[in-house]
Amino acid sequence: MNAAASPDDTLIRIRGLTTVLNGKKVFDALDMDIPRGKVTAIMGPSGTGKTTLLKHITGQMRGDAGQILVDGRNVPELNREALYALREKIGYLFQNSALLTDFDVFENVAFPLRQHTKLPEVLIRNLVLTKLQAVGLRGAAQLMPSELSGGMARRVALARAIVFDPMLILYDEPFVGLDPIALNQVLKLIRTLNETLGITSVLVAHELEAIKQVADHIYLIANGKVVAQGDPRTIADDGSPWTRQFFGGEADGPVPFQYPAGDYAEALGFPRGTTA
């Protein structure tokens, strides 16, 4: 938790978030502050609930306890109308881009506008072309998703995510499957959009070297809590066993190699206490 952050500086304030799924405690009184206008990365071992946290922020899931304040509004308490209004201010970039395969690039970006507004066609056209220009793909407006590279698809998805000029963009594993050129293009876009549009960005990712280039702050979560946080350029050297294992790629550590299990010998049919 960033104790120094004031309410005006914080867009997302999470307090005491506790979530239990299928008997497993995913979040255990989790506290976290996401500052306005910055790029914040959420990292951690697989299965620690990073994507689940994004779903909590957008109100797709509700925890068993705690608060999630987005722009001062407690998301779990919002009614349907208020929740939908909040979601219109949030862009979401899915891990697989989630483009509509039967629509061309133009119509993929236009889709949210056609679904949620009654704007005239000329205005929709201008908005879509403006967003495609921002991601460098105005010339690809008539291409189908099957004609796009992985990096181009990610950029089209980003154009769609910013079509409503959101205050917040959530990125779920935005770097997966990208070659070095496409990765650098996406990194540049995230940083540029954040600075020019004043957007707040939250990234779920595993690639520390990429995060170092774009993020202002990292939260490392494990065992349902924030176990480390700090500057992307120095967090790996903070001496914590969590950061040493995660960023050093160690097989065993605070996150054990062996999943919790009963007595091994007994599972094999030997009397309890026997050495297998």
Predicted confidence band at 41 (pLDDT cuts at 50, 70, 90)? very high
Task: Determine the pLDDT at residue 265.
Answer: 75
Q: 39 versus 266: which is more confidently predicted? A: 39
Domains of the chain with bracketed CATH? 7-238 (3.40.50.300)
User: Do the Cβ atoms of 160 and 152 come closer than 8 Å?
Assistant: no
Tokens read off for 198: 């004043």
Average pLDDT over residues 200-226: 91
Average pLDDT over residues 70-77: 93
pLDDT for 275 beyond 70: no
Average pLDDT over residues 239-245: 75
CA dihedral 119, 121, 125, 127 (to 10 degrees): -10
Task: Determine the pLDDT at residue 3.
Answer: 42
Give 16's contacts (C-beta < 8 A, 6+ positions apart).
29, 30, 31, 65, 66, 67
Q: What single letter denotes the amino acid at residue 205?
A: A
95 closest CA partner among 24, 175, 167: 175
Residue 262 phi/psi, 5-degree rounding, is -80, -170
Task: Determine the pLDDT at residue 29.
Answer: 93
Average pLDDT over residues 243-270: 70
Q: Compute the C-alpha angle 23/27/29, nearest 5°.
A: 120
Task: Determine the pLDDT at residue 269.
Answer: 77
Task: Determine the pLDDT at residue 206.
Answer: 85
Task: Determine the pLDDT at residue 272.
Answer: 67
Q: What is the pLDDT of residues 92-115, one digit of tens each?
A: 988 778 899 999 999 999 999 998
Task: Determine the pLDDT at residue 249.
Answer: 65
Q: 248 versus 139: which is more confidently predicted? A: 139
pLDDT for 243 beyond 80: no
Nearest-angstrom CA–CA distance, 247 and 78: 38
User: Do the Cβ atoms of 160 and 111 come closer than 8 Å?
Assistant: yes
* Mean of pLDDT over the chain: 87
SS3 2: coil
User: Do the Cβ atoms of 228 and 241 come closer than 8 Å?
Assistant: no
